[in-house]
Structure 1
Amino acid sequence: MTPFKKVMLFCHRWLGFISGLVVFIVSITGCIFCFQDEIQDAVYDYRTVESHGKPYLNPSQLIAVAKQNYPKASPDYIYYYGEKRPASVLANTGKDGYMYIFMNPYTGQITHTETPQTNFFIIVEYIHLYLLMPPEIGRWIVGVSVIIFMVIMITGLILWWPKRKSDRKRSFTIKWGGRWRRVNYDLHNVLGFYATSIAIILSISGLAIAFEPVSKAIYNTANIGRDIKYEEEVTEPKSDSLKKAGVADKPVVDIAFAHARQQSPHAEMYLIHNDPAPSGAIGAGAYPKSMRYAYASGYEFDKYNGKVLKTYAYDKKSPGLKLMEMNYDIHVGQIGGITTKIIAFLASLICASLPITGFIIWLGKRKKSKSKTSKVRNAVHHKTHRRQMQVS
């Protein structure tokens, strides 16, 4: 082995020891989360409703239902998930945190309530993001481990890549008929190779979700050569809190929802956000696919007079903003539908297996090394003993 590869092996091995447990936890939780929508749809009845040709209730009506049942709650987000899906109000209940209030969007009947900390998949998501630690601590532990994992994948690729062309075919396949240690070795190397490109994409998109500087770097990279400033395109406008007298003739959340539906009539999902701050705006997002967050258009409104403050039409967004807003869908594998979900699932499963198969390889080599050392010592002792006998 060349000195360069010895350095690569040292880095690969010890960085694996450092990050292995976190990589396993993050990968296996990511694997579980991939099909969370499909699993919840199959398990929970409240996630589907019948429309019967009725129109949606306005956001103000859903807010009124939420306030009637939970007077102290502040309904900050209103979701319309789709024609055959419920609406939900995400309300801030103060010291008890947020609560999801699911309703029939055509009748206003409450069908289900839950706090995020009681939903299994949200717990899985928190483990994935923060290891159930305080967010500021857990995010850094996960982030550093993911960066280390990316280095491990690259060093592993360098170590594995066959020198001779004649060896490449054999190196790209798993020898299932071999001994179990050989199969484990192939599982680590071959599956690791096939998962590398997807794993790096998932890692970068995850880092972009967790850390704004990474997201901003992706934005700037995609906008190279364009005179576009991140702050100008992304910063949300403010309502004029000094002109509260100019109240609109109807609830601004209803104005925002109607405008979003008019401008994006083919959208399946809508999100209305009522920023509770005095200068906060009311935003309406329109999403082409239900439960998908890419390719969206957005609209911001003054919360006092209903005036449109800013429009984020999808076709007018910069390539950087479009790519940045795809991060979540890319990361969970839903960007291309069920096919990319399966790919993300398998890649995450492979990533979860790599620390285990790698540890088994290291353990086997360690035992083999000890065995060889023991045989050498026995041979030396035997020869020395014979010489002593001959002398005597």
Structure 2
Amino acid sequence: MKEKVHTQLSLAKQASRKMAILSRKQKDEVLVAIGNQLLADEAVILSENAKDIAIARTDGQPASYLDRLLLTPERITQLVDSLAQLVSLDDPVGERIDSWTRPNGLFIEQIRVPLGVIGMVYEARPNVTVDAAAIAIKTGNAIVLRGSHSAVHSNLALVTSIRQALTATGLDAEAVQYLPFAEHASVDYLCTANGLVDVIIPRGGAGLIQRVLQIASVPVLETGVGNCHIYVDEAAHYDMAESIVINAKTSRPAVCNAAETLLVHRSWPQENQRALLQKLLAMGVELRTCERTIELHTDLAAQLHQATSEDWDTEYSALIMAVRTVDSLSEAIEHITAHTSGHSEAIVTEDEIAARQFLTAIDATAVYHNASTRFTDGGEFGFGAEIGISTQKLHARGPMGLPALTSYKYVVRGNGQIR
């Protein structure tokens, strides 16, 4: 298998050199062609996706997993729309980041260039297949995809459509590769293919990300899990707090920017606290609360579950939420600092001083004042389709749009200078 994987990677490496010199017009044309091909192949794609869904149901996968795996006509349309948005964005390749002239007359420019070959390891979500391939193409990169075997039918159908569009527009189809092997060893070979792969991007649960980090010898652009918090301050308006919390938890609980923990200031009116808990329960959310919250709302005690220490660190990806009552903003900040995954954290308050303190003190890729954590997304930030959300601090942080898929080089012009 190692030889087969390396053969694919070698083809991607060759294709990456061609991709790096494409014009924006050529790249945008193929993105449009991919969208048209997805629509033309919709019936086949949905049929293949149905096979994956059937297998997942037989295996007893939870509803949140099935939601991540599912493709629908509406979701395919959304993918096509994201491709159109990507076309509308500027091409970062060739952008002059900075320039200056040295005292000796050398003129130096810092120019954006593609990374080269990107290895993508990810779970479920077949939409990632299209998003990742599209953003790689827009940035002049080649990409080698290795999705989870549970989505293999969907992913192969999508990649077939993408490669057909590349060929139809006169580009090298080998710029988008898919590793179809079920064996985990294929991930090992991808992540240790120095010289063939320039960067690995893992996207999925904590287990997958940690495994890639442990085995990779190729540089890793680390994405992170989303243990996101919402803190409702004593100066929060109820209607806004309810709207934000319900949206952040229930609009799509399986995604990484969904809120997992609710912190409520003890001095927020008790009737507001009770109403918010009742609303969450009515929306089907299982609440795992601290002992103090149960004591404050004895009439709801039968519907509340005692939180364990593990709950504060869990990304549920389901209709489950941990709830804690805190005495102060400082206590909320301390709790978040101790348990955050560094993804997205929010405060709901009308107190500008409290908001400023929260936004300054919390170390995360995105911090929010009076808005849902669900906005941590490449499309919502105006980046177009994202390739992932980085919770690290080197090279790229937060939603990774087009610039994150580039590096840079220095172009130096002289008139005979020597040293």
Is TM more than 0.5 here? no
- Give the TM-score normalised by the residue count of structure 2: 0.19
The structure whose Rg is larger is 1
With the length of structure 1 as denominator, give the TM-score of the two structures: 0.20
Larger helix percent: 1
**Greater strand share, 1 or 2?**
2
